Every structure is written in structure tokens, then in C-alpha cells.
Structure 1
Amino acid sequence: MMKAHRLLRAAVWLTAGWITLVASTQAATLSAPIAAKALKAKKLADKEHYQQAIDVLVPMPKRGYDQAYIARMLGIFYWQNEQLEPSIKALTIAVNSNELEAQSMWSTRHMLADVLLIDKQYDKALHQYYRLAKRLPKGNKGDKIWLRISQIHYQLGQWRKTLRGVQHYEQLGMPDAVQPLSLKVGAQLQLSQWAGAIISLKRLLLLEPDKKQWWMQLVNLEMRTKRYGDALDSLALARLQGIPFEQHDRQLLAQLYAQNGIPERAAQVMSTIKGLANNTNLLVTQAQYWQRAKAWDKAIETWQLAARRDKQYHWQVAQLMLQQGQYQAVLSVLDKVEEPEHKADVALARTRALYQLHQVDHALKQAYYANRVQPSVEAKSWIRYLKHLKRLSKKHTS
């Protein structure tokens, strides 16, 4: 709103300058006493003695052009003196008088609309702006009027009307600008117009490539619409653009690499997260990425880091070690797996490791134990196979 305040104050001074021109070219249409008052008030206002200028002009004349002209001056002086309510009343009188010539009427109505907007009388301001849009002076495209209309509808949460206002603005052939496009994106998001919002955000990024907000909204929308490849491209491009990444941004980038079938790159991105080694959840995520990438040594190393912080992950370490043939090492890791639900699986894992280490008797004991804890086809198969090996071994010995 502060930006709007500065814009409107600039508009006020422009109108005040317009008064100077009118005073010299149309003073003859005023009655002599009123013309004298107008000139005196203007000199006071030029010195920023607004209240004194107002005192000169009130009470305003009752009839005709004198009243319209003085009402317009008072509206401006009241505004400059930060008196919104009397400014609105005076400008309304001037506009309703029908005494002003077309260009003067349009400028005065514009001033009234601006002051109503500053006073947050949005519906009344909209009424005036729409009237301004219907009767534009020659050479005025109306782009600023339609932008203001769009802003007010957005302020009121009227999303479809916001989009219609921006559409009018764009149909004037105006070049892309941040303000109308940001209004358009906001309204499209509220209306769940995801595809349109993506297009608008890409236009915004051409204007503000360094603004993180636009990049993240684009990525989120591309993910929402299941365009994961596009989301990855956008987020990676944002990183190359130098957009600062927080921890959650890096996690998102890693997630997108994984979703797009590049788990090794996902794990590498995770390595750039500060405090990774002290965060169990992040370590688990990275270990899973390494595992999906079939980078077994790195996966084992990362699972081990996670297991140091939470012993439940010793089981993941053991499974990968067994898979990679680290039979001697896995035995000590299996000793650390304490969860009751893994008892049978741990016994079977020991069975396999001991068998590979040619410790058939110990392997058979573990197979029996696994079958007692939780009978299974696998356990029974190991028992039959290992007993067969023992018989063969006795025959060979004898």
C-alpha cells in the first residue's frame, strides 16, 4: 500500500500542475470574485500552506462552473493536507456537477477514484475506475486504469474479475511487467488454474530471474501437475542462476533427481546439506538413494552412519553386507540387530554367512533356530541342504 500511496501522491502533484494551466486558460469562465479566490488559494498552496488555501475557498460557491472548479481545487488541497473525507466529498461534487469539460472531468474522476482507493472504499473506487475505462482521453491506452482495476479486484479476492482486468491490460499490447503478471499468477493459483499459472510464472522469471519466490512456485506447480522432469529442470536452473538454497530446497532437488531416475545425483546433492551427519532422517534418505543407484559401498557406509544414531538401521547394514559378500564382517553387525521381529531373519542371515565361511555346523544350528522362531520354507530348505552336506562330508571322511 505504501507504493500505491507514493504513486497517488505523484498523481496529485500532476493534477495540481494541471490546475496551474487551467487557471491561466479558463479563468475567464469563472466569476471575477471566484477567480480572485482561486488565484489566492493557489499561491498559498504553492507554498504548501494547504489549510490557509482551503480557508480561502470555503464555503464553496453554490452554482455552476464556479462550484465545480472550486470543488476540484478543494479536493486536491484537502488531499495534500491529508484530509481524505473532505477531499472525497469535494471531488464528488466536482464530478457530479457536469460542468467540467471532458478532459477536466476525466482527470477529476481519476483523482476521486485514487483517493477512494487510498481510503479503502474499494467498491466505490472500482465504480469510478470502470467509468474512466469507458471514456478514455485521446492517446490514453487505459493500461494504468485496467491495472488499478485488477489490483482492487485482487484486494477483494475477486479472482475471475482480477483475471479479466489483467486480460484487458494485456490486450492493449503492453509489454510484460511484474505487477500485472504477479496479479495474474495470484488469481490463477487461487482458481487452481495450474497450467496457466506455469506459463505466467515463466514470463515473470524472464523479468525477475533472481526472485526465488517465482522459481519455487513454478517448481511446486510442475510437481503438482506431475511434470517432474520440468520441475527438476526448473529447480536445477534456479540453482545455476545463483538462487540461494536452504536445506529443504536441496532435499527437494535430491528428491526430484530420484523421481527422474537419477538416484546417484540425488545422493550427491544430499551430501551438500549442512549437518547431514547429525540428522538420522537425512542419512536414511541418502542411504536409500545410494542403494537405488547400486553404489553399494557408499550405501553401506551411509547406513552405518545412520545406525550409529539409531540402532534399528543395523539390519539395513547387515542386509547389504550380506549381499556384497562381506560374510565375516556381517556377523558382528548381526549381533547388534536387537529388534524381536528380525530374530528369524537374523538367524537365516547368520546361516548364509556361516555357510559361506564353511562353518556348516554353526550354520545348521542357526537354521534350526530360525525355524523354531518362525517356521518357513527357507529355513527348512537350509536345514535339508546343510544336513545333506554333513552326510556327504561324513561319507567322504569315512
Structure 2
Amino acid sequence: MIKKIALMVLFTLLCNGVTAAELSRYTATKVQRAQNLQQNEKLSEAIDVLADVDTSKAYDKAFVARMLGVFYWQNNQRSQAIKQLDYAVSSGQLQDKQAWTTRKMLADILLMEQKYKAALPHYYQLVKTVPKNEKGDELWLRIAQIHYQNSEFAPTLKAIGRYESYRKPDELTPLSLKFGAQVQLKQWKQVVPTLERLIALQPEKLTWWRQLVTAHLQLGQTKQALNVLVLADINKLSLPEQDIKLLAQLYAKQGIPEKAAQTLGRLSTVNTDVDLLVEQAVHWQNAKEWDKSIQFWSKAAKISSRYYWQESQLLLQQKHYEAALRSLNKVNDPKKKQAVLLAKVKAYYKLDRLEEGLINAKKANDISASNETKGWVKYLSNLRQLESQ
């Protein structure tokens, strides 16, 4: 998560606040020569000059180490740069802004080298006294990044809180850190406003919308989850099929079965996946769109004959008796044999085909006698006798 941080090395800062009296004449001469070589792009020679400095003065040693650290960094010798800058900082010889900028250089290099535990104490020291024209908010952001990298999520949020106290405009990196830490700590209520800010920054990024839906679902806020997903859909964010399925489920949970069925109709396997066909049939049935429900039960039954039973029940309900009989004839579940016979009895009765109805009633009664089967046999027998008279 941590991005590479550019170290802006301005060599005029190396001598900021330094007078010739503070450096010995010998060291000052070496420093000047090294600076000239560096400015003429002779970095290796400049390093050799500084590395050859032999002095007993503590301040001279610290100053040269600081300068060597910068040159080593420029020469891509990072471990040497860290060693020299660490010496300069720990010596205690550098003061005020010079000490602060040296520590910052050291902390930034350690961060870039992914030496997080070593960098962190330096950043905490830096934020204690931030000089004018330096950005304290950036230091707190780096502290947050390190804590997050170390899976220390509570300190991450604390550091982000300090960063946000600077009241900077919302930016992606700090908000992403905040979001990630909140999720890890399962702070779902806090996740919601963070994601809303991320969506305001990147409304085209579907990930934030999906995460916001998840947060609302974690809080049991089905209606809000539906609203978010609908808004993402309206904004044409190209919902993947799994999100379209979720959208349909949320419509159903909110008691909007018609929209649930219509949403499932957008899926690529809508006419070949039997489970999707069944879901649509159920949604249309719940919406009391009987003909549409029958249509989808029929499609499902053509793929799996187990669904002829559901189709036949709706056909009977809608008084499509001939069609119901055709559907019932295709039900081949042995466990439903008696139920199928009784359903046929009702259809034959409604079609005034009493003889066929009586035959099926007797068959149903032979399987297992019940008040219903006996009642049909008696009733249809009486009707047939009355007709014959």
C-alpha cells in the first residue's frame, strides 16, 4: 500500500544555518570540494572525498555523515545512505531544522526500503515539532501507512485521525487506508461514511459501490443496500452477473418480486439455467403475475420434469384445465402419484368429465384411503348416478 516517496534533496539545505566557524577549515574545504564535484555530476568522486575526511570534531563528523548519506542515496547506495544518516541523527550534533530534515531523510529512506519498524520511531519524533513550511499531515499519513503495513489497524485509524485534523481535501490514499483499517476492525457503521467519501472521489469505481452494499448488509440494512446497488446500476457501472443476482435478491427481500424477476431476466443464462428459471417463476408468482409465472414454470419443466407439478398447480388455479392435465401427465415423481391423481380428479370434474374423474379418484383411494379420496369417490359416483337418471 505504501507508495514510493520521492526524496527532494536540495543541497543548499545541507549548509542551511551553517557558518564556516562551525566546521573546521579542513572539513569545510573537503565539503566545498565534494559539493563542486557533485554539481559537476562526479558523484562517486564526491563520495570518495567525503569518505576520506579524517576529523575528531563531533560536529564535523555528523555534518559529513549527513552529506554522505545524501550522496549515497543519489548514487543508489541505500544501505550506506541509511548508515550515514543514522549516524548523523543519533550523534545529537545537528540542531533545529538541520536535525529535523536529516531525520526526515532517514525516515523516508527507511520507509522506501520497507524497514517499517525502524522508520516509525523517527516519524513519531518528527511530528512532535514540525518546522514552518513542512507538512505535518504527510508525516501522519506515512505513520498510518506503516501501521497499516504492520497490520496495526487501531493505530492506523488514530494516525489518520491526526492527518484529517489538518482538514485537507479528501484524497484516495488516506481514505483507502481508513476504509481498510475499519473493515479489518469490523467497524461497519464507520465504514459507510468513509465509502461515501470514496465514491464522491471515484464515482466510476464499482469497487466502492460494492463495498458500500456489503457494509449495509453487515449492518442488516437491506433497504439501504438495495438503494446503493440501484444507484450504481442507474449510473451504468456495468454490474457483474453476481451483483445482478444480488440486486434481484434485495428486490425480493424488500417485497418487490416483479423487479426481482425482471432483474434476473438480464442474466446471460436466464433461459438455460433451470435454477434461474425457477427463481423467476417464483418471483412472478409472488407478484401474482400468473401467466408469466406459468411461462417460466413451463420453461423449467422442459429442462427438468420435476417442475411439471408446479406448472400444473398454477394451470389449475387459472382454470386452464386441459393444459393442467397435459402437465400432470408428465409428472413422474412416484411420491406424487396420489397427489397427481387427485389433481386430475379436480381437472376432470371442472371439465365435466365425470367418468374419468371417478376413475382417477378410485385409483387415488386405492393408493391410500383418506377422507379426501373417499369424498371424491362418493361425490362423483352420486353425480354420475344422477346424470344416468
TM-score calculated relative to the size of structure 2 = 0.94
1:263 deviates by 0.8
- The answer to whether the 8 A contact 2:358-2:377 is kept is yes
CA distance in 2 between counterparts of 1:247 and 1:169 reads 39
1:139 deviates by 4.6
RMSD, matched Cα:
1.9
Match of 1:222, as an amino acid? H
Cross-structure match for 1:206: 200
- Change in 2 beyond 3 A, CA 1:242/1:351: same
Cross-structure match for 1:173: 167
- Change in 2 beyond 3 A, CA 1:376/1:213: farther
Note the alpha carbon deviations across 1:164-206, whole angstroms, 9 max, x for none: 1111112222232221111111111111111111121112111
Note the alpha carbon deviations across 1:125-174, whole angstroms, 9 max, x for none: 11111111111113545111111111111111111111111111122222
- Change in 2 beyond 3 A, CA 1:273/1:47: farther
Counterparts of 1:31-50 in structure 2 under 5 Å? Answer: 31-50=24-43
Cross-structure match for 1:335: 329
1:262 deviates by 0.8
Residue 254 (1) aligns with residue 253 (2): no
Higher deviation after alignment, 318-327 or 307-316: 307-316
The percent identity for this pair of structures is 43
Cross-structure match for 1:306: 300
- Change in 2 beyond 3 A, CA 1:59/1:365: farther
1:24 deviates by 7.2
Cross-structure match for 1:58: 51
Higher deviation after alignment, 177-186 or 19-28: 19-28
Match of 1:219, as an amino acid? V
SS of 2:3's equivalent? helix
Which structure 1 segments of 5+ residues have no match? none
Residue 356 (1) aligns with residue 350 (2): yes
CA distance in 1 between counterparts of 2:370 and 2:144 reads 70
1:47 deviates by 4.9
Residue 219 (1) aligns with residue 218 (2): no
- The answer to whether the 8 A contact 1:162-1:184 is kept is yes
SS of 2:271's equivalent? helix
Q: Of Structure 1 and Structure 2, which has the larger fraction of its residues in helix?
A: 1
1:62 deviates by 4.4
- The answer to whether the 8 A contact 1:27-1:35 is kept is no
Note the alpha carbon deviations across 1:289-320, whole angstroms, 9 max, x for none: 11111111111111211222222111111111
Which structure 2 segments of 5+ residues have no match? none
- Change in 2 beyond 3 A, CA 1:243/1:68: same
Cross-structure match for 2:90: 96
Cross-structure match for 1:241: 235
1:377 deviates by 3.6
Cross-structure match for 1:366: 360
CA distance in 2 between counterparts of 1:77 and 1:287 reads 74
Residue 268 (1) aligns with residue 267 (2): no
Residue 4 (1) aligns with residue 3 (2): yes
Residue 383 (1) aligns with residue 377 (2): yes
- The answer to whether the 8 A contact 2:14-2:67 is kept is no
Residue 20 (1) aligns with residue 12 (2): yes
CA distance in 1 between counterparts of 2:213 and 2:16 reads 59
Higher deviation after alignment, 33-42 or 104-113: 33-42
1:260 deviates by 0.9
